[in-house]
A = this chain, B = another copy of it.
Amino acid sequence: MFQKWHLFTPGPVPVAPEVLLAGARPTPHHRLPEFSAVLSEIREDLQYLFQTRRPVFFFASSGTGAMEAAVANLFSPGERVLVVRGGKFGERWGEIAEAYGLQPVYLDIPWGEAVSPEAVERALSENPGVAAILLQAHETSTGVKHPVREVAEVAHRAGALVVVDAISALGVYPLPMDEWGLDVVVAGSQKSLALPPGLSFVALSERAWERVEKAESPRYYFDLRREWKAYQKETTAYTPAVSLLLSLRESLQLIRKIGLERLFAHYALVSRACREGVLALGLEIFPRVPCEALTMVKLPEGVDGGALTRLLRKRYGVVLAGGQGQLKGKVVRITHMGHQSPLEGVLALSALEVGLSELGWPVKIGAGVARALEIIREHAEEVYA
């Protein structure tokens, strides 16, 4: 009975039972008025989540699909875009841009470091005619949080749009689309929305929308012109992922009930507690500017990340993510997103301590957890009152 999973991976994340059950209902027909009512509700709640008055579109696809939708709908072959590249998902922006025949200019930064607004400003002035800057709110492969607001200001001054992959950021910390003037925001279902994978989201500012009619990139499934027509008729262009949308409605209702402010405060608290717990163990946090969605732990010399994640999974059912690309084997990631209670990160930290000890690293068992609990103890009343 003790064979139970605790997911601390950056997608999929734990899903609340009421959300799963909503998706387990018999599939309604997606062209009936009853389903249009569901869509209207979802669309309104998505605007709340995106903090925008603009329509939010969704696709049956992974988050990458919505990234592609952003590129295909905004740009034409030969156009120049600035790509912030300091991890696997920055690379992905570049790959999509190249696949569509754009001319990406790369702003390369070392893995683990955040882009600076100054570097963006310099790159934009050195590369006139860049249509947009493509970046991540945070780079999930390194845990680094980029200064999106400041980058947006710099980009707008240079006349460039700002396209933000917020797949594992939206709903975790503030990214108010309208207030910050973000031109494209992309999201996914299996992150802070705490749903199974299979849905992606994209919203465009008015300025970005003006490009949609003119862009010459080929597109069909991800064509936002078709989706916008369908949107106005309270339906979708193609068959939507109905069961996931029923779950989404439930999840968005939970988010509204809790409120974005409290949700942000929760993630800020648990991520800080986990980070300080890791530091108290004498370990290092990998990213210079850590995000609130996950804690990325630099493993000590001699400890193999693969062996550690395997041990924790098999023995304790605790599923941490390893590193990607050049970080493979060198880090583990503890994700805070999804249906996790305030003290659940402590369980991940417990597993990390015990696991490191079992692998022969001299850990002072309990030291990390103690520090994390102290921080939660100090702030829980204001966050969860």
Contacts and interface: CB of A to CB of B under 8 A. Distances in A.
Contacts of A353: 373
A366 interface: yes
A339 B384 CA distance: 26
Interface in A1-43: 1-6, 16
Interface stretch (A196-204, A217-225, A313-321): A313-321
Contacts of A1: 16, 192, 194, 251, 254-255, 258, 263, 266, 338-340
A83 to B, nearest CB: 31
A18 B6 CA distance: 15
A51 interface: no
B381 A373 contact: no
Number of chain copies forming the complex: 2
Main SS of the interface on chain A?
A: helix
A157 to B, nearest CB: 37
A338 B354 CA distance: 23
Interface residues of A, number: 49
A99 interface: no
Interface string A334-363: 000011111110110011011001100000
A358 to B, nearest CB: 7
A373 B377 contact: no
Contacts of A82: none
Contacts of A70: none
A131 interface: no
A365 B357 contact: no
Residue of A255, A340, A377 contacting most chain B CB atoms (<10 Å): A377
Contact of A316 (B2, B263, B341, B347): B341
Contact of A341 (B4, B258, B357, B370): B4
Contacts of A346: 346-347, 350, 369
A272 interface: no
